[in-house]
Amino acid sequence: MPEFAIGEHDFLLDGRPFRILSGALHYFRVHPDLWADRIDKARRMGLNTIETYVAWNAHAPEPGTFDLTGGLDLDRFLRMVADAGMYAIVRPGPYICAEWDNGGLPAWLFRDPEVGVRRYEPKYLDAVRDYLTKVYEVVVPHQIDRGGPVLLVQVENEYGAFGDDKRYLKALADHTRESGVTVPLTTVDQPTPEMLEAGSLEGLHRTASFGSAAEARLATLRAHQPTGPLMCSEFWNGWFDHWGAHHHTTPAADSAAELDALLAAGASVNLYMFHGGTNFGLTNGANDKGVYQPLITSYDYDAPLDEAGDPTPKYHAFRDVIARYHKVPDTVPPPARPAPTPSGVLRDPVRLLDAPERWGTWEFHEELPTFDVLTPMPKLGLLRTSVAGDRPGVLTFGEVRDRATVFFDGDLVGTLSRDHHERAIPLPRAAGELLVLVEDQGRVDYGPRIGEAKGIIGGAELHGEPLTGWEVLPFDLAALPSLRPSPPSSVAGAVAGPVVLRAEIDVDEPADLFLDTREWGKGVAWLNGFALGRYWRRGPQRTLYVPRPVVRAGANELVVLELGTMLDPAARFVPRPLLGHTEA
């Protein structure tokens, strides 16, 4: 069997120097029927390795579950990498960041307030060991010394930016070895002395994450990893976007020059990202450094391969750089073609407030609960109580995480947003039925707020007194596309949410599509039951990507949950993605 090792100066494949030319491709962000296409395009750009994170919370949405089917079939993904003649790097965390919900850590893990976060704490480590055991049952047979593609496995992820618990890191490394992982183990940190020192252990090969100033940053890495190959295992060739901010792009020539500097220095590299993909469903993460910023649905990342899997100018620029140092395949992928532009009329409204019990089951709580104590843990929930008094007052919440829309006797009162630090709203009358629609817009994926609770935190007050006696309805969003009105009906003009609408979309043959959301407010869309993700008028993203395998020849059903105000109840598709405010 082949052998892969870390030598005095190089990675060694069967005893000969080997440079890793890798690209990040997260299987859980790409439709599984498109994995082979994306892997092949990485090969044709000149890469020899595919790197992926493993998202714990995607595989285990609830305790006692571990899903390895469909888009979570890691075994199939690694087999496809091998079938393409490529190698693999696996980064199972348990924390992955990745701009993914909660950094990949399951929210249910923190229902017990005694559970630690990324440290040596018994309850946390018990859960982590169980998770890693399940991952390594898949990964171990795919190691290179067993005839598979896996060259490296990473321990934790940029841990030096979070903590310095060496006992914790050793527990992860020891369990990894005990589980049968024999390939070299790595860590990654930003190349500062403090992070490189805090984030690794002797015996784990240090690598760095950066996107510029390669010579200086490799020198810093070398000071902390004095022997063996230098590797930038996250070469940031693009960046991610937040709702309400601008779309990040990096000139292809600038990124290519930085890649050239890395390769000229003899370093190995993993492009982050080669192909970003999509935060399908409600899987996006968020940042909070004083202001809460949820990520958009697209994870295009301005990568060499765009969200729809088409080569960009950066793809060709990177291929040209790689060709200066290594042989690249003769053929390149064809350029993108304009996508079909079908349309349809949104109709058949199902209004949330008319019969909320169609969307879930009410449960009573004397004190207002957070989302985290509910099972299953919702992304969207409705809170209801009765208010009786002798005067209007101000409704005050401890904290809103992350968006609360308030209704009184069915009338919209207003919306409170976490990013504006809002938590109080006046009620118009002394008595009536209070309804609050609360949305989790994505859990923080980086920094000290990982693992925090969602929903309404710290209860509610009216006239300075606690408001108690709540009914809570967690929404079953997976079942939402099957909700149908009785009788069917049309809509005219702008539509106020929360409401479910649907349209029939006819296409000649399956193809990638780009759903135009510019005239819609805020919500979620599905095509043929597949959750495309969130849209929001504040941008910068103004289309939702629809992967070709989801589309059927003939009639397709589009379902939209509009939470705000839809200016035009029409379903339109455009020939290319619109990810920035300035795009025409």
CB atoms within 10 A of CB 211: 19
User: CA 445 from chain center: how many Å?
Assistant: 9
User: CA 329 from chain center: how many Å?
Assistant: 31
- Collapse the DSSP code of 446 into the 3-class scheme (helix H, G, I; strand E, B; otherwise coil) and give the result: coil
Read off φ and ψ for residue 469, nearest 5 degrees: 75, 65
| CA 242 to each of CA 264, 275, 296, 308: distance values in angstroms, whole numbers, following the listed order | 34, 18, 5, 19
Query: Cis omega (within 30 of 0) on the bond before 195?
Result: no
Alpha carbons 219 and 233: distance in angstroms, whole number: 15
Alpha carbons 51 and 149: distance in angstroms, whole number: 11
Alpha carbons 50 and 22: distance in angstroms, whole number: 5
Read off φ and ψ for residue 11, nearest 5 degrees: -70, 145
- Collapse the DSSP code of 387 into the 3-class scheme (helix H, G, I; strand E, B; otherwise coil) and give the result: strand
Long-range contacts, stretch 67-74, CB < 8 angstroms, 24+ apart: 68/138, 70/32, 71/27, 71/28, 71/30, 71/31, 71/32, 72/27, 72/28, 73/27, 73/32, 74/27, 74/135, 74/138, 74/139
What does the DSSP assignment read for 480-532?
GGG---SS-----S-EESSEEEEEEEEESS---EEEE-TT--EEEEEETTEEE
- What is the set of active-site residues? 158, 234
Alpha carbons 469 and 176: distance in angstroms, whole number: 48
Tokens 């997976």 locate to: 478
| Secondary element (H or E) of residue 48 | none
Query: Cis omega (within 30 of 0) on the bond before 498?
Result: yes
Tokens representing 506? 């006819």
For residue 515, give the nearest of 538, 534, 500 by alpha carbon: 534
For residue 318, give the nearest of 15, 23, 19 by alpha carbon: 23
For residue 149, give the nearest of 45, 79, 205, 72 by alpha carbon: 79
Angle at 270 (CA atoms; ends 267, 272), nearest 5 degrees: 135
DSSP label at residue 171 = H
Alpha carbons 515 and 547: distance in angstroms, whole number: 11
C-beta of residue 341 within 8 angstroms of C-beta of residue 572: yes
